[in-house]
């Protein structure tokens, strides 16, 4: 075999891309290649792209340009360049035309073939393209999980989406909804727990749409929660329409399921929700939240919001602010509407001016930040456990997550994976300080 290649993977966008980058790294390592840090010299640079907004999609082009320029400046041959992920799937040959330096373009459903594609690119001229969406899922062709796992590890259980929201590219870049078999999910979960994970985050573009014959998503959560060694369980990203009574019951009945839920609503206006093809109303969302909170009173909610969707009036936007005021969010992600090629909303004539989007986003984010800070302050004095994930900014400090998804800084002699009991002693807008009680497990 030729000399092992040094490779780095840079991932943009969502948790699922982080998971895919881990699996691509494992596939290249299993083929004998060696992972290096993003800023270390490498023979192969992999860019795992996000296509959700224009800014994210354009980022890869500037990064590729820099890699090529740096190699030219050093008078060295440039590394082999791989573009993976959703922009690869969406733009394919257009990407090859815009960035002739790219050697491999591979979609999210074909990256199990990455070692072979890299091999072909090294021996044949021209770009190697693989945007296949094979009938048989890639998971069956990926090597076992790496022997070391992060304390909180991602585990993809569902992919794709059949909802076709009019602003979204995911159904086109990730394909139709597909749920992994229970036994495959449990096998990978056991491997991650054996490798040191204590918390698992089940991932899917529409994770709560996961279903297999005889088992619904609540059933999968219960099965994963029962695994020895699992301390905490989370899942993301959900759709309000797939929050079933059994899932709501799971939030009351499964102790390992953390009291934090990311449930995107996007807008508080029924007129805009209809135009987005979300197929639920703001009242439906409020009702779902009320039932979840009845099941788990300390549930912390997070959500996604889009401002400036085509046709959005000031009145529509006020409806979003009113929903936010009423529901109250512990965390949230909010963005200006970004027209995506190939999505129905991009062609609408009633696009909202950027200045109006910016002004509305400012008002929304001010409200959301105030709610996040208020939620953190309301948690002061609570005694709870923090799962330590990594060293903090200062010596002797560690950071991790509370059950409610908050970042918590703890000063003590700890290590990644420790579950440290703390009293939440100081609250900031985006994080808290935990005072250890002495109990660690």
Could you list the residues that contact ligand SF4 (CB under 6 A)? 161, 163-165, 168, 170-171, 205-206, 239
At residue 415, φ and ψ (nearest 5 deg) are -150, 160
In the bound state with ligand SF4, the residue whose beta carbon lies nearer, of 176 and 383, is 176
The nearest distance, CB 301 to ligand SF4, in angstroms, is: 17
C-beta of residue 384 within 8 angstroms of C-beta of residue 402: yes
Smallest separation, CB 306 to ligand SF4 (Å) = 9
Give the integer Cα–Cα distance in Å for 60 and 194: 35
Nearer to ligand SF4, 177 or 389 (CB): 177
Q: What is the C-alpha separation between 196 and 202, in angstroms, rounded?
A: 16
How far apart CA 87 and CA 99 sit, in angstroms, is 13
**Minimum separation from the CB atom of position 171 to ligand SF4 (A):** 5
Whether 345 contacts 333, CB under 8 Å: no
- Quote the least distance from Cβ 263 to ligand SF4, whole Å: 11
Q: Decide if 197 contacts 151 (C-beta within 8 A).
A: yes
Residue closer to ligand SF4 by CB (options 109, 402) is 109
Q: Give the full edge-to-edge strand order of the sheet including 300-307.
A: 260-262, 300-307, 331-336
Q: Residue 340 or residue 357: which is nearer to ligand SF4 going by CB?
A: 340
- Rounded to a whole number of angstroms, the minimum distance from the CB of residue 51 to ligand SF4 is 11
Distance in Å, CB of 110 to ligand SF4, minimum: 20
Q: What are phi and psi of 271, to 5 degrees?
A: -65, -40
Helices (H), 3-107: 15-30, 54-74, 86-98
Question: Which one, 16 or 127, has the nearer CB to ligand SF4?
Answer: 16
CB contact at 8 A, 386 and 415: no
Minimum separation from the CB atom of position 199 to ligand SF4 (A): 24
Q: Which phi and psi angles does 197 have, rounded to 5°? A: -70, 145
Exposed, middle or buried, 362 (CB in 10 Å: 0-12/13-18/19+)? Answer: exposed
Dihedral sign (CA 334, 339, 341, 343): positive
Task: Report the residue number, 46 or 165, with the smaller CB distance to ligand SF4.
Answer: 165
Q: Name which of 33 and 163 has its Cβ closer to ligand SF4.
A: 163
Residue nearer to ligand SF4 on the CB measure, 155 or 168: 168
- Judged by beta carbon, residue 28 or residue 323, the one nearer ligand SF4 is 323
In whole angstroms, how close is the CB of 174 to ligand SF4 at the nearest point? 8
Question: How big is the chain, counted in residues?
Answer: 441
SS3 readout for 237-256: CCCHHHCCHHHHHHHHHCCC
CB of residue 88 vs ligand SF4: minimum separation in angstroms?
18
Alpha-carbon distance of 256 to 403, in angstroms, equals: 10
Name the CA radius of gyration of the chain, rounded.
22
Q: How far is the CB of 204 from ligand SF4 (least distance, A)?
A: 9
Q: For residues 306 and 336, give the distance between their C-alpha atoms in angstroms, rounded to a whole number.
A: 6
Residues 393/336, Cβ–Cβ less than 8 Å: no
Of 87 and 205, the one with the shorter C-beta distance to ligand SF4 is: 205
Q: Pick the closer one to ligand SF4 by CB: 175 or 259.
A: 175
Task: State the minimum distance, in angstroms, from the CB of residue 279 to ligand SF4.
Answer: 10
- Helices H / strands E in the chain, number of each: 12, 21
> Residue 218, SS3?
helix
In whole angstroms, what is the distance from residue 121 CA to residue 50 CA?
23
CA–CA distance, 259 with 248 (Å, rounded to integer): 12
């Amino acid at each position: 075999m030729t000399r092992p290649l040094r490779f780095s993977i840079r991932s943009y966008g969502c948790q699922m891309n982080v998971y895919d980058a881990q699996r691509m790294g494992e596939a290249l390592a299993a083929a004998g290649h060696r992972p290096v840090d993003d800023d270390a010299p490498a023979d192969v640079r992999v860019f795992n792209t996000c296509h959700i907004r224009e800014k994210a999609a354009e980022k890869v082009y500037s990064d590729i340009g820099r890699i090529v320029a740096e190699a030219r400046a050093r008078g060295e041959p440039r590394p082999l360049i791989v573009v993976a992920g959703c922009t690869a799937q969406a733009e394919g040959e257009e990407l090859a035309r815009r960035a002739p330096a790219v050697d491999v373009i591979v979609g999210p459903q074909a990256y199990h073939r990455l070692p072979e594609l890299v091999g072909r690119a090294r021996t044949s001229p021209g770009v190697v393209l693989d945007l296949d969406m094979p009938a048989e899922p890639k998971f069956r062709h990926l090597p076992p999980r790496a022997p070391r796992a992060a304390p909180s590890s991602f585990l993809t259980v569902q992919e794709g989406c059949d909802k076709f929201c009019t602003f979204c590219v995911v159904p086109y870049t990730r394909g139709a909804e597909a749920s992994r078999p229970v036994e495959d999910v449990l096998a990978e979960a056991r491997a991650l727990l054996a490798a040191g994970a204590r918390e698992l985050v089940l991932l899917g573009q529409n994770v709560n749409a996961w279903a297999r014959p005889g088992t619904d998503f609540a059933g999968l959560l219960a099965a994963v929660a029962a695994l020895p060694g699992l301390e905490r369980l989370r899942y993301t990203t959900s759709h309000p329409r797939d929050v079933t009574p059994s899932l709501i019951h799971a939030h009351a009945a499964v102790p390992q399921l953390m009291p934090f839920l990311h449930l995107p609503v996007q807008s508080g206006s029924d007129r805009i929700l209809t135009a987005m093809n979300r197929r639920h109303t703001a009242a439906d969302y409020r009702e779902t939240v009320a039932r979840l909170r009845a099941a788990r009173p300390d549930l912390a909610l997070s959500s996604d919001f889009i401002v400036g969707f085509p046709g959005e009036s000031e009145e529509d936007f006020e409806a979003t602010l009113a929903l936010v005021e009423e529901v109250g969010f512990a965390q949230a992600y909010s963005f200006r509407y970004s027209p995506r090629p190939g999505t129905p909303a991009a062609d609408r004539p009633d696009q909202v001016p950027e200045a109006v989007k910016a002004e509305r986003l400012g008002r929304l984010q001010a409200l959301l930040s105030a709610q996040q800070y208020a939620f953190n302050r309301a948690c002061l004095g609570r005694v709870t456990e923090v799962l330590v994930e990594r060293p903090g900014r200062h010596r002797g400090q560690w950071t991790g997550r509370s059950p409610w998804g908050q970042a918590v800084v703890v000063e003590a002699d700890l290590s990644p994976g420790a579950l440290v009991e703390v009293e939440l002693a100081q609250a900031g807008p985006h994080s808290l300080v935990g005072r250890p009680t002495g109990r660690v497990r």
